[in-house]
Amino acid sequence: MSAFFALLSGLVFGLGLIAGGMTDPAKVKGFLDLIGPWDPSLAFVMGGAILIGVFAFAAARHRRTSWSGDLFEIPTNTVIDRRLLLGGVLFGIGWGIGGFCPGPALVALGSGLREAGLFVVAMLAGMALHDRYLSGWLTRP
């Protein structure tokens, strides 16, 4: 049953990304371009996601199991460290250059968008570099 909920959640998430324009790198770059012709429409997509998330996390905080019956915990870590800051900077740079974040890139890849394929390859290479070379350095105090 949990595989069904995972598939359903992924499908709804992917359709939401497509409907919101998050899989269109030109739209994302238009949102991130504060000097040129700025496109604020993705701010509404993100605002809607945050609003839904606030209520969803508030409701989930009182539950021990998901709708499928699986156990889950809401993360409680509130530490802002160098890993978080560097990860945020790298995420922002990748988002600005490629016009994708990981979820929308995978959805766009599924639709055959060539740019998404390049982004996913670069993302996987970055993840491998992190695991191989940076993980130890980032976790040192």
pLDDT value for 96: 87
Which pLDDT score, from 0 to 100, does residue 80 have?
92
- 0.85 exceeded by pTM: no
The predicted structure's pLDDT at residue 105 = 92
pLDDT for the residue numbered 119: 92
Kindly report, residue by residue over 34-53, the tens digit of the pLDDT. Answer: 888 888 988 898 899 899 99
Per-residue model confidence (pLDDT) at position 63? 86
| Structure-token pair, residue 107 | 């959805």
Q: Name the domain count of the chain.
A: 1
Instruction: Write down the pLDDT at residue 138.
Output: 64
- Give the DSSP per-residue string, 11-51: HHHHHHHHHTTTT-HHHHHHHH-SSSS--THHHHHHHHHHH
Ranges in the chain, pLDDT < 50: none
Please name which of 98, 82, 63 lies closest in space to residue 134, comparing C-alpha atoms: 82
Q: What is the domain extent for residue 22?
A: 2-139
Confidence at residue 141, expressed as pLDDT on a 0 to 100 scale: 62
